[in-house]
A and B are shown apart, each in its own frame.
Chain A
């Protein structure tokens, strides 16, 4: 190899490693800053305390409850619809223009920016359907947003189930529905679960779509009005305290908690994936 080619190789190799290092370094830098500033602000009072600016209370319990409510309700809508849709696409539908349009629509949904979801949820669920700023408005908006994730994960999982399972079940006289629900779906469960975890991460991290639908009220909703009250999620809280109140102590602590949750979800998803690989 002549010197010129060698030099070119060397430059590119250096660039490859340098850029890889930058990618990792950025994450580590962000983690270091957020965790070093944030962990100091996390205490029991912070985690399970109420939030009241006038009494100087910066607890995030209402935000945790709000986030959980939104996760549960969003998944309650999106998971059945998404799983059923995936069943239809892989097990029932004849591959034709209908399926192609459904796939295209699902792809398009995942490309729509969250602020557009926010505007849509605001005008459709909040105004037109008169749901107001509420858990319900937020969850319905978010369930459309995470639908592609659930559909895609379930589809992949269903496709990975060996054909012989279906044939064996059908040959034993089981109906198509029975085969799908009792034979194929259980095998696909880990894959579906990873889609659900992905969706949870998306719901927790979402801000723009939530702020205009579920609102920003930092209070635990009354038990009788769980679905119709406005709530504030952790991500919205981070935005509010950082930008509106400039309370960086709370903001760093909230950011650290968000990163912690994401890390746990990531780790869980990885374990599930590893289990699936082993099978």
Chain B
């Protein structure tokens, strides 16, 4: 009797602990939701009022950024343009280079070179963005200044070059996974029909892996538009509309980081306003990403 009673009370204590831990687990899982909500709320609370005060068209499409002038001007169009140009340029270089590297890794390279190449890509993805920026500052920027005759070397071109290599690891690793996920029969079928290996890759495997590759591209674009520290060291930080690849620029991220250290109250609020615009771009990219992923899930369910 006695032993039985003890067991029951011990059990109820255990189950109370069990329930408590389940609540702790659930709360931990909710942390992500709470964090997203807090980040969104605080960025918008700090950034939206200055945008409204300046006026949405003046802020978004104004081409002059003179926050410290006697009559300050807060137009961020040159920054939006610089961010988009940087993103587009990095995508234009990084995607083909990354995709072709992924093809080599997934389809063509012998074991040892593939392992070496994969090691390089992994290390590339781990190297801090300031190191990229510093490399850009000490190697790419002087090269552009001396060889291409840009007055300072810090330029849109330098930014695009650095960003291209920064998004490479994402493109390579996700595209490689997508290419590998294509069933072997696709390749075999194509070869049996008389296609060469390369033709099979480009006409059969890549179309079949399209959604995975697209995901890597969108993630790479997000990385490029959000990158700060690598860009700030090579872009020149002058917010003007660039007339050529050799002109200095200042994308949204770099302006925020550069100006935060000395900004007065309203200037700082305006920087949060830039944060809001950047955030909106990221949200749009996220929605695009979700559509791409959803389509790939649907495609897989409907496919063979």
CB distance from B217 to the nearest CB of A (A): 14
Among A166-218, those with CB < 8 Å from B are 175-177, 201, 204-208, 211-212
B135 x A120 contact (CB < 8 A): no
Interface residue B29 (Cβ < 8 Å from any Cβ of A): yes
Which segment, of A27-35, A46-54, A224-232, faces chain B? A27-35
Query: CB < 8 Å: which of B21, B31, B253, B257 contacts A147?
Result: B31
Given A113-B282, A116-B279, do A85 and B128 touch, yes or no (CB 8 Å)? no
Report if A106-B39 is in contact (Cβ < 8 Å); known contacts: A115-B228, A266-B123.
no
A235 within 8 A of B: yes
Binary interface encoding of chain B residues 84-121 relative to chain A, with 1 for a CB under 8 A from any of its CBs, else 0: 00000000000011101101110011000000110011
User: Does A242 sit within 8 A of B, measured CB to CB?
Assistant: yes
Q: Are A262 and B278 in contact (CB under 8 A)?
A: no
A81 at the interface (CB under 8 A from B): yes
- Please name the residue on chain B nearest to A263 by beta carbon: B123
CB pair A30–B127 under 8 Å, yes or no, is yes
Identify the interface centre among B18, B168, B226: most chain A CB within 10 Å of its CB: B226
The segment from A5-13, A57-65, A68-76 that touches chain B is A5-13
A262 to B128, Cβ gap below 8 A?
yes
Chain A residue at smallest Cβ distance from B198: A9
Cβ of B77 within 8 Å of any chain A Cβ, yes or no, is: no
Number of A-B contacts (CB under 8 A): 242
Do A19 and B100 touch across chains, with their CB atoms under 8 A apart?
yes
Flag B123-156 by CB within 8 Å of A: 1 or 0 each. 1101111111111011100000000000000000
CB of A165 within 8 Å of the partner chain: no
A232 to chain B, nearest CB (A): 12
B244 CB-CB contact with A under 8 Å: no
Indicate if the CB atoms of B199 and A9 lie closer than 8 Å: yes
Closest residue to B225 on the A side, CB-wise? A113
Of B14, B43, B127, B199, which one neighbours A259 at CB under 8 angstroms?
B127
- Within 8 Å CB of A122, what residues of B? 260
Partner of A23, one of B134, B172, B226: B172
For the complex formed, measure the closest distance between the CB of A180 and the CB atoms of chain B, giving whole angstroms. Answer: 9
Question: Using a CB-CB cutoff of 8 Å, which residues 3-29 of chain B contact chain A?
Answer: 14-15, 17-18, 21-22, 24-29
Chain B, Cβ-Cβ closest to A25: B120
Query: Binding site of A, secondary structure by majority: helix, strand, loop or mixed?
Result: helix
In the bound assembly, the distance between CA atoms of A114 and B133 in angstroms comes to 15
Q: Does residue A123 face the partner (Cβ distance < 8 Å to B)?
A: yes
List residues 20-46 of chain A with CB under 8 A from any CB of chain B: 20, 22-24, 26-30, 33-34, 37
**B228-252 residues at the A interface, CB under 8 angstroms:** 228-229, 232-233
Q: How many residues of A contact B (CB 8 A)?
A: 87
Total count of chain B residues near the partner, CB < 8 A: 82
A93: interface (CB < 8 Å): yes
Contacts of A5 in B (CB 8 A): 196, 199
A147-166 vs B, Cβ < 8 Å mask (1 yes, 0 no): 11001000000000000000
Beta-carbon contact of B282 and A101 below 8 Å = no
Among A67-94, those with CB < 8 Å from B are: 80-85, 87-89, 91-93
A residues near B139, Cβ cutoff 8 Å: 29, 33
Q: Are B229 and A81 in contact (CB-based, < 8 A)?
A: no
Chain B facing A: main interface SS: helix
* Complex CA distance for A12 and B233, rounded to whole angstroms: 35
Docked complex Cα distance between A102 and B35 (Å): 11
A23-B278 contact given A93-B29, A120-B38, A175-B18, CB 8 Å threshold: no
Check A235 against B39 for contact (C-beta < 8 Å).
no
Q: Do A239 and B130 touch across chains, with their CB atoms under 8 A apart?
A: yes
Q: Which of B17, B131, B165, B272 has the most CB of A within 10 A?
A: B131
Tell me if B202 counts as interface (CB < 8 A to partner A): yes
CA of A218 to CA of B209, assembled, Å? 48
A97 located at the interface, meaning its Cβ lies under 8 Å from any Cβ of chain B in the complex: no
CB–CB A33/B229 < 8 A: no
Q: Which of B32, B124, B232, B282 sits near A102, CB closer than 8 Å?
A: B32
| A87 and B25 form a contact (CB under 8 A) | yes
**What are the interface flags for A226-260 relative to B under an 8 Å C-beta threshold, 1 for contact and 0 otherwise?**
00000000010011001100001001100100110
Are the CB atoms of B128 and A30 closer together than 8 Å? no
Query: B residues within 8 A CB of A276?
Result: none
A54 and B40 CA atoms in complex are apart in Å by 42
Which one of A16, A93, A115 contacts B257 once the chains associate, using CB atoms below 8 Å? A115
Contact call B29/A113, Cβ cutoff below 8 A: no
CB neighbours of B97 from chain A (8 A):
19, 22-23
Question: Is A88 touching B29 in the complex (CB atoms < 8 A)?
Answer: yes
Q: What is the bound-complex CA distance between A9 and B279, given in angstroms?
A: 43
Q: 6 more A-B contacts (CB under 8 A) besides A88-B22, A102-B29? A: A122-B260, A123-B272, A147-B35, A208-B257, A239-B133, A239-B229
21 pairs, A vs B, C-beta closer than 8 Å: A9-B199, A16-B100, A19-B96, A20-B109, A29-B139, A83-B28, A85-B25, A102-B33, A108-B286, A111-B222, A113-B278, A122-B260, A123-B42, A128-B42, A177-B22, A204-B128, A205-B129, A207-B229, A208-B253, A239-B233, A242-B137
B residues neighboring A (CB under 8 Å)? 14-15, 17-18, 21-22, 24-33, 35-36, 38-39, 42-43, 46, 96-98, 100-101, 103-105, 108-109, 116-117, 120-124, 126-135, 137-139, 165, 168, 172, 196, 198-199, 202, 219, 222, 225-229, 232-233, 253, 256-257, 260, 271-272, 275, 278-279, 282, 285-286, 289
